Structure 1
Amino acid sequence: MPLTLEITLRDETLEEDAFQIIKVVRPNWNPETVRSKLYTGGISNKLIGYYQDGKIGEDVVMIRMYGQNTELMIDRKAEIDTMILLHGYGLGPELYAIFRNGICYEFIQGRILSMEDVRSPEVYPRVVAEMVKMHCDIPSNGLAGNHAEEAGMWNKIRTFDALVEEILQTNPTLVARLETFGFDVSPGFGTRAIKEMENILKSQNMPITFCHNDLLLGNIIYDPNTSKVSFIDFEYAMPNYPAFDVANHFNEFAGIDNPDFDKCPDRAFKSKWIAEYLKGFKLEGVELSQEKFEYWIELCQPASHLFWSLWAIVQAHNSKIDFDFAGYFGLRYIEYDKQMKEVRKFL
């Protein structure tokens, strides 16, 4: 079990504070030879890696400081429970310690997926295999060990929406920026969109499995030396529709810093990817045809965009990280609106 430490990290003394954790989880390390690396790619939390000089490839300890007010959207206890559960199944890093505003865990060797990797015939089948393992091997209700009756995304997105409703009535500057994208963002807009999406997806009677739900390229590690793929960052892992997990992954082909949704996979690549997935998907009492699963993914792609659109508004209001969350809302909501217009045509 991970250690529990009464330590709080502060922005102004981040590395100094984090080193106090290293002294506990790696007491044999020589303080004179410990080096650190600040990772700058994340848009929710702050992340530092610690290692001994000259040994970055051998043992790296990661320390993540939670982002400002992220506990409003993320159940941190559930995240910790998930990390422990998944590591027991050979999925994800080992959790070393929990401190007041973050966690300390094992570094997964390798590199985050590139735009080229995610399409590579050498790599994407390994991503598929890892996702199948998560969807089929882990109890859908996580540590409870039983079957989840409802997709967790509905409670989560309603949590986002409740926060958005408050923000829309208290932050006129942000509202003015959101309105520049040409959409009605008056109170209730998210609630109405969620209700429509929920009616559509629940009518499909899709299976529910344990899902990652945030498989952007930065949350997938590929080690070219071993050809192993690993998933990291389980903040949004929960029971959900596997079609949502796959659809969300396809949406994330666009990237984060300057998303380009023209880079999302075309129908031919999706079909090839899904065929690989269905070869490994084995769940008692569930029969999935290629045609049906592809249809479900088409329905879930706008749901993914809506999910992260509302998330982005909450982040724009709360986060201190240097990232244009309001702009990210606009990009995701444009895609949601465009894809929903297509979905409504064939319902």
Structure 2
Amino acid sequence: MLASYERITMKKKSCGPLKQAGSLLKIHGAVRAGAPQQHHPTVTTEDTGPPAEKKRLGSSLVVDERNLRTPSPLFGASGDDDSEAEGRAFAWCRDFLSGSWKTIEESDFQIMAGLSNLLYLCSYLTMLTKTVISLSVCLCVSVMQGVDSLVLESVMFAILAERTLGPKLYGIFPEGRLEQYLPSKLSNPDISAEIATKLARFHEMVMPFNKEPKWLFATIDKYMDQVMKISFTREAHVKKYKKLMKFNLPAELESLRALLAATPSPVVFCHNDVQEGNILMLEDTDHNTTDRLMLIDFEYSSYNYRGFDFGNHFCEWIYDYTYNEWPFYKATPENYPTRDQQLLFIRSYLAEKRRHLDSVIDQTQMEDDLIIEANRYALASHFLWGLWSIIQAKISKIEFGYMDYAQSRFDEYFKQKKLFV
């Protein structure tokens, strides 16, 4: 996701979507700010220094390099200057898009970087009935991924787009792909029922991928290995790291593994990152329809335990990643959904599932079981993103309180554990 024009704000795994009409072009492929994928970051032995900062306003380029964790493949370390990088993006938009994109002048083309070094908003202004309209697409660049990963991701996006469960796919090329951009608003609990309905449809997908639920603990195990080997030099980080290590995370991981092994949860095709930055509200829709939103950003989607999608989504109610002061997030634990709010979500999910089932289910028992399942898998969400944040404190140049965020996630983990174990 991309952040607002006013400030490109860090999100744990994405930035908040740009509020602008038009289409979104993504040249896509790797990690949103370093979140888990098949390829994980390698921890180095030195803290990163303060990142460079560069902004050029006008009709061409706006880039805030504080938000680029590694050199961008578009603006990258190869020596490309702004005009050359912009020219590459302009050529992709012209060649793969239709309509007015075929006739615009490069001088009218604009490009803006978001949080990730992979995502760029490309746009231009046009006059229509004496009104200035900005047409935009998101450019998402592939870096550091194998051919297999790119093929699988492209297949997934194409299938989701065809079934209207994801943005339209305009084109795929070696450097990435082009996707539709849709008008957006931040999510809120009022649309919880529809999020649940969309998630139920997502879980019904049969995708041509490995059906074994390896993603969750394979990711946690790799992160744990890295966290236990990290050596911080910055005094503030050293102090916070030592505090986190008092939790005895390896032993706690084994406890979590045993708990979830004893918690039934079907394996389905999971989104794995249902949070406010990955939900787009659709404008200009029929007011009588329930299709007012769309799930986006499927970089982490894989076969996984259903409970993780529920628990992870509930955890995200706590965190606001648009907070504009240090540590650039705000944790409000009391926002974790109440039992009634969880039941609204669960009942909407089950109502959608019943449309595809011939058998009669015990609704009350299913609700009770899902409450336990979701809240136990919420522990896995806190644990995974807590480890992830420790690693980001070491390798990321993004201005964000990663160690504070890690502490928050593990604090919530232990609070949650007391309630549901």
Task: Output the TM-score relative to the length of structure 2.
Answer: 0.66
Aligned residue pairs, count: 320
One-letter amino acid matched to 1:241: Y
Distance 1:174 1:238, change over 3 A: farther
Which of 135, 143, 146 matches 2:208? 143
Amino acid at match of 2:189: R
Q: Any idea what the Cα deviations from partners look like across 1:242-294, whole Å, max 9, x if unmatched?
A: 22101111111222242323222222211122111111125768957000001
CA distance in 1, matches of 2:292, 2:401: 33
CA, structure 1 residues 82+112, in 2 after alignment: closer, same or farther (shift >3 Å)? farther
Q: Which residue of 2 aligns with 1:246?
A: 310
Say whether residues 1:53 and 2:125 are aligned partners: yes
Name the SS of the counterpart of 1:52 in structure 2: strand
Alignment correspondent of 1:119: 189
Alignment of 1:269 with 2:325, yes or no, is no
- The DSSP-based 3-state class of the residue aligned with 2:164 is coil
Question: Which stretch has the larger CA shift, 46-55 or 244-253?
Answer: 46-55
User: What's the CA shift for 1:78?
Assistant: 4.1
Q: Work out the CA distance in 2 between the residues paired with 1:291 and 1:252.
A: 21
Superposed displacement of residue 324, structure 1:
2.6
Q: How far off is 1:154 after superposition?
A: 1.6
**Aligned ranges 1:210-229 → 2 under 5 Å:** 210-226=269-285, 227-229=291-293
1:173 aligns with 2:233: yes
State the shift of 1:329 in Å.
Answer: 1.4
The 1:111–1:185 alpha-carbon spacing in structure 2 relative to 1, beyond 3 Å, is same
Identity %: 24
Which structure has more relative contact order (CA 8 Å, sep 6+)? It is 2
Return the offset for 1:331. Answer: 1.7
Instruction: Rate the CA distance shift 1:315–1:279 in 2: closer, same or farther, 3 A.
Output: same
State the match for 2:138 in structure 1.
62
Residue in 1 aligned with 2:183? Answer: 110
How far apart are residue 342 of structure 1 and its match?
Answer: 3.0
CA deviations 1:174-200 (Å, max 9, x no partner) are: 6962642773427x9444333221211
* Structure 1 counterpart of 2:140, one-letter code: R
Matches within 5 A, 1:8-87: 8-11=73-76, 13=82, 15-26=86-97, 28-32=102-106, 34-36=108-110, 38=112, 40=114, 42=115, 44-54=116-126, 60-65=136-141, 78-87=152-161
SS of residue in 1 equivalent to 2:300: coil
SS of alignment partner, residue 172 of structure 2 = strand
The amino acid across from 2:228 in the alignment is E
Give structure 2 stretches of 5+ with no counterpart. 1-25, 29-71, 286-290, 322-327
Task: State the alpha-carbon separation in 1 of the partners of residues 360 and 330 from structure 2.
Answer: 35
Superposition CA RMSD, Å: 3.5
Offset of residue 104 of structure 1 = 3.2
1:97 is the counterpart of 2:172: yes
Decide which moves more: 310-319 or 27-36. 27-36
Structure exhibiting the larger radius of gyration computed from Cα positions: 2
- Shift of the alpha carbon at 1:232? 1.2
1:81: how far off?
A: 3.4
Which of 325, 328, 331 lines up with 2:408 in the alignment? 331
Separation (CA, whole Å) in 1 of partners of 2:150 and 2:254: 27
Conserved 8 A contact 1:306-1:332: yes
Name the structure with the higher helix share: 1
Alpha-carbon displacement from aligned partner over 1:8-40 (angstroms, at most 9, x marks no partner): 412563545433422332361412464435364
C-alpha distance in structure 1 between counterparts of 2:162 and 2:334, whole Å = 38
210-219 vs 322-331, which moves further:
322-331
CA distance in 1, matches of 2:420, 2:272: 21
TM-score, normalisation: structure 1: 0.78
